[in-house]
Structure 1
Amino acid sequence: MAIALAGGAWLVTSGDDSPRGSGKKEPPEARVLHEIPTPKVGKDPINVEGMWTTDRNFVKAGVEKVTGYPLGGGSAQWEIPLGGEICWTTPHINADGLTPVLFRDADADNPVCTQVGLLDLRKGELRWQHEVTNEYGSRVMFDEVTMGGGTIAAGSSDGGAAWSVDGTPLWKPEEDAECRDVGYGGGARLVAVRHCGDVSSPAVDVRSFDPKTRKATSTYELPAGVEYLHVVSTDPLVLAIEDEKKRSTGVTDLVAVDDSAARGTRRGAIEMGDDTYTLDCQPSVVESCTELAVSKERDAVFLGTEQNVDAATMNEIVALDLATGKEAGRTPGSTDANLRVLGLDEKGAVLAYQETTLGGAGGAVWRVDPRTHAKTRVLRANTAGRDTEASFEAGGQVRYARGHLYLGQKLISAPDEPTEKNGPLAIVIGTK
């Protein structure tokens, strides 16, 4: 195993990156325990994004439904029919196993994304389902949905709407409002990204507020030129900014915001640079960034670097201080596969997925100590399932929980050729 910057020196072993001589025991070899088949669909892509784990189930979104399986895979234990294609899900789940979902109304003449529902992932049921109408009686279409501060909130270019956990409506878009909630960041808290003024070139700000009263506690105004804004963490508040003055596309800066006062201020900023770090954000969606982890304990963000075939390892995981923007630590990866940051585990350690290799090796999961930046392998997949595992690396979802690696598709469609077959919708990798 490679260990990053301990006591001011690099300690890196060669070869297969195993912890020989480190005294650490390698995890047993894992295998594909279960495959969920992809249902037959047409040529038009269907969104099946959404994948969660609870203390009881691995849950995967499918075609107009969400299904719960045993954590180690096996026959479905429950199914929640939605009656329409899924539009958006969030990784946030509360302590009761509840998470919101946005989906289409299949019964409408024009099935658009109007339905907001709350899923109970422990009981396997749809708690409630609501839609919003404007003053003209037309249904409001939403782009995304999230949960934070005990509130479910959906945003769109026309404004936002919210409900309490019991389904009580809290607010909805105001037709003549100067500012519109285009999206929300959830998790520990709920914050709103707002567009104000001219629709074609709006002023953008982020508002921290009390979801119960909707009273603002802090507002952080973004400079002119910010085209897209993403919330990557609400506690601490961290934003990913796409500034068209710096670059035409992609995230240009990560900004940590102090929202303790009525006027929010910038604590620190990190310039992303060109082809420096890997960060995947959908341009027009507020809460869509993946492949990073924000540690409140360390006041740092962890990012994977771009692949460099000339370096000692394919890429690295870098810790960047949110207050100073400076590097706080570095973890080298593997000699023949990229590391992808997944997030934090329940103890605050960084989880990273090591992709499969061209040589036929399976992937792996590493736990990175946020203080020492040393990494420990917690799962290693065998070579037998390598091709199946690799089929998820381009655009799939990856999650590690309770000793299992879960991989799932986001979009599915019929194969281009009649003789071809789709791979699985999702797989479970583990030892038992």
Structure 2
Amino acid sequence: MTQPPPPPPNQPPDPQGGFGAPTPPQQPPGYGYPQQPEPGYGYPQQPPAPQPEPGYGYPQQQQQPTAPQQSPYGYPTPPQQPGQQPVPPPYGYPAQPQQPYGGYPQTAPVPAVAPGGKKLSAQLQIVIAAAVAVVLIVGVGIWYANSGSGGDDKNPVSSAGTSQGTGGQTGGSGGSNGVGGDGKEKAPAVTQSKEVFRIGLPKVPDTTDVSGSWVTDKAFVKTGVNSVVGYDLDKGTVLWTLPLTGQVCGASRHTTADHKVAILFEATKRVAPRYYQPCTEVGMVDLGTGKLLWSSSVTGGSAGDAKARFSEVTLSGQTVAAGGTDGGAAFDAANGNPRWKPQANDQDCFDLGYGGGAGLVAVRKCGPFESQYVLIQNLNPTTGAPLSQYKMPTGVKYAAVVSTKPLVVAADVGDSAGDGSGISDFFSIDEKTGKLKAKITADADQYGARCRSTKVEACTQALVGNGRLYVPTEEHEGSTGEYGDETNEIIAFDLATGRTVPEKADAGDTYTLVPLRMDGGDLIAYKVPPYDKGGRVVSVNGGTMKETVLLENPSEKSTRETERSFGVTGSEYLYADGRFFVSKTYVSKTSDGGSSATGEYLAVSYGTKG
């Protein structure tokens, strides 16, 4: 299979900024832990050369074109819907009246002089001021009530709540009717956990990416140096070790139903002085047996006759898709046979990467170096044919896929976020038509979700479910106002309207909520603890936003210090069936003393069982 077709000709490029190597993002504000840098996969970023990339998605009610245009690759180019945007709705959509912090309307100044020239008495001024305040309050209340219904406004709503999650407008879904409460994770009889095992840090000669961890019914699986290792859930002993030709340099967050996962790894070992090898090999690992089922590589794109280099990999159905600045490729999950590979086209397009899971979505960059633009394409996972596409606004250099179905994308428009989060706005897109449903502005000073700027599927703390987008607020002062009393909330946006729903989840004083994953219609979240307590794992009802404690870690000093050594921005958190795993995403150069000298570990496990 060759590279998918270029974008439809009736969607002209939108001139944008250049595509040079990105400025390293600032570390986001921490949650009380020492912050750690977020390295790449072990090799330097290269200035992307425009190249071909496949469109890729999943076969969801493919739109039938009225007069299909034949692409040079043998399948029809997706039809342009009547009135479909070549350019997205303007960012100048009428905004809501801005109120001072706290939501109180300001009153108009009261004139001190009557129309006839006489100075008003102090008592009369007070009476007039009170009347004006009442009128304004009533007026603002009516405006908010009317705006909640959407009225005749046909444009998507841009909305952002306050840091307490009470601002913005009520979403179209209203309350929690029929939302949430169906999660599989239930509170055990005893929620107090104990530490089950610790895994020591591997010795590395340089900073090494070890992203990737999974849980099966028998094992906790973690990437290591030149290997993937499975550990017994109850003992932490090694069940199996899969040696590889080189370092793991990418791992899918999605797995198959029978516990198979896609990874990227290097063809040879890293050696001094550069400790760098290109990330070219794609493979499928059986997490039950520890076997490498197949491995493959492809040529093409800007790599020419050399092996294409990839920076991330994902899985959707029976397709493994890998992307990077050399372009994108896809493989049959059963045997590793290539479905398509990077290939040049006359639109200078290439796929940066893919979002997987329920669907397959490509983030494609097109156009000449000085005026590149970004397309979001929902793909047929078998052929790579675009089923629909949405053109991102001018000023978007990269985009990240938060969810493929429903389709939600995050981007930093015009580098306006300013906090290293990689997010200024979320885009709710109809994956069947490519039309924008809502643009949700996520003020960097208010919201805590994060995406790695040059990665397509590397967002954390943003969850999609129940027709809603769930994000945490940044930390703010708690109710006591004392030092160290920071807290936050998780709020939700309606994906159809972009408006906040009224319910929110409160972390409570001294705790901070970090959303981890959806559990049916509910959320699994980690509560980062204060200095003198252990962390908690809670289930949050996706409708009422009420929480249920599933696990609470010990408060003993030695245990809580180990838990606190894992910074939120540099760790992976997994919870399943009463077991909680925390692991690092990278390891720095270590001394001969290893973990006992540094007080840090590759992974730690907690459990409520036994």
Compute the TM-score of the two structures, normalised by the length of structure 2: 0.63
Does structure 1 residue 331 correspond to structure 2 residue 499? no
Distance 1:73 1:321, change over 3 A: farther
Distance 1:245 1:76, change over 3 A: closer
After TM superposition, give the deviation of residue 25 of structure 1 in Å: 8.5
3-state secondary structure, aligned to 2:234: coil
Selected match of 1:382 from 534, 550, 554: 554
After TM superposition, give the deviation of residue 108 of structure 1 in Å: 8.5
Give the equivalent residue in structure 2 for 1:356. Answer: 529
Give the letter aligned to residue 251 of structure 2. T
3-state secondary structure, aligned to 2:562: helix
> Residue by residue, what CA displacement relative to the aligned partner does 1:57-100 show, whole Å, maximum 9, x if unpaired?
11111111111112234211111112211211121001121111
What is the rounded CA distance, in whole Å, between the counterparts of 1:311 and 1:241 in structure 2? 33
Selected match of 2:469 from 290, 298, 301: 301
Q: Is the 8 A contact 1:26 1:377 kept in 2?
A: no
Matches within 5 A, 1:119-198: 119-134=285-300, 136-165=304-333, 166-178=335-347, 179-198=349-368
> Residue by residue, what CA displacement relative to the aligned partner does 1:272-325 show, whole Å, maximum 9, x if unpaired?
013211112110111110112110xx2001111100024477101111111111
Moved more, 77-86 or 246-255: 246-255
What is the rounded CA distance, in whole Å, between the counterparts of 2:270 and 2:528 in structure 1? 42
Q: Is the 8 A contact 1:415 1:422 kept in 2?
A: no
Distance 1:131 1:108, change over 3 A: farther
> Residue by residue, what CA displacement relative to the aligned partner does 1:169-205 show, whole Å, maximum 9, x if unpaired?
1111003452211110100111111111113431210
After TM superposition, give the deviation of residue 137 of structure 1 in Å: 2.2
Give the equivalent residue in structure 1 for 2:381. Answer: 211
Q: Is the 8 A contact 1:27 1:377 kept in 2?
A: no
What is the rounded CA distance, in whole Å, between the counterparts of 1:245 and 1:151 in structure 2? 33
Structure with greater contact order relative to length (CA < 8 Å, sep ≥ 6): 2
Q: Is the 8 A contact 1:292 1:303 kept in 2?
A: yes
Selected match of 1:34 from 181, 197, 201: 197
What is the rounded CA distance, in whole Å, between the counterparts of 1:259 and 1:137 in structure 2? 35
Moved more, 92-101 or 240-249: 240-249
Give the equivalent residue in structure 1 for 2:237. Answer: 75
What is the rounded CA distance, in whole Å, between the counterparts of 1:294 and 1:228 in structure 2? 20
Report which of the two structures shows the higher radius of gyration computed on alpha carbons: 2
Whose strand fraction is larger, Structure 1's or Structure 2's? Answer: 1
Distance 1:171 1:389, change over 3 A: same
Does structure 1 residue 322 correspond to structure 2 residue 495? yes
3-state secondary structure, aligned to 1:226: coil
Matches within 5 A, 1:227-376: 227-244=397-414, 246-248=416-418, 250-261=422-433, 264-295=434-465, 298-311=466-479, 314-328=487-501, 329-345=503-519, 347-358=520-531, 360-376=532-548
Compute the TM-score of the two structures, normalised by the length of structure 1: 0.89
> Residue by residue, what CA displacement relative to the aligned partner does 1:141-193 show, whole Å, maximum 9, x if unpaired?
11111111320011112210110112111111003452211110100111111
Give the equivalent residue in structure 2 for 1:424. Answer: 601
Matches within 5 A, 1:98-137: 98-106=260-268, 111-134=277-300, 136-137=304-305
Q: Is the 8 A contact 2:204 2:590 kept in 1?
A: no
RMSD: 2.3
Equivalent residue pairs, number: 406
Give the letter aligned to residue 240 of structure 1. A
After TM superposition, give the deviation of residue 418 of structure 1 in Å: 6.7
Give the equivalent residue in structure 2 for 1:54. Answer: 216
Distance 1:38 1:177, change over 3 A: farther
In the alignment, structure 1 segments of 5+ residues that lack a partner are: 10-23
After TM superposition, give the deviation of residue 260 of structure 1 in Å: 1.6
Moved more, 421-430 or 44-53: 421-430
